Amino acid sequence: MKKPSPKKRQRPFGINVIIVLLVLLVLNNGVDVIRALAGLPPHTFPEVDALIIQGLNAAIAIFYAVLAVGLWQMRDWAWYAAMIASGLSMFFTIWRHFAGGQPYVTMFLVVVMVFYLNQREVKVAFQRVRAAGAKP
């Protein structure tokens, strides 16, 4: 008699969507760095020095990339970090909007990311990861 093979743990659809959104955010920040290098005003804070914007956008892009890898690997810290990052991103996109920037793409991506982060299947998946990590 054959033993049933253990089910491979799959990532919920919502986590895959969040990973894609983070990759798009990395690309979006990369576009702002390229715009600043080309001498065009970035979509972020148009009145801030281009060198500062390049550094900030590069750092944010790296953070988003690390976060995407953490979500891909289902790390227990990744859900919390994604929630904090999305909250901060939303705050700064609203600030940028009122400062004369045009952060509409970022704002849309972050709103969708928050939606998927709060889906039950995503929360449950990370609760299981934390519970599995807490066992001796």
Please tell me the pTM assigned to this model: 0.83
pLDDT of residue 16: 96
The span from the CA of 2 to the CA of 129, in Å, is: 29
Q: In the chain, what are the domain boundaries? A: 13-131
The span from the CA of 66 to the CA of 24, in Å, is: 13
In the chain (136 residues long), the average pLDDT of successive 10-residue segments reads: 58 95 93 81 66 84 96 94 94 87 89 96 90 65
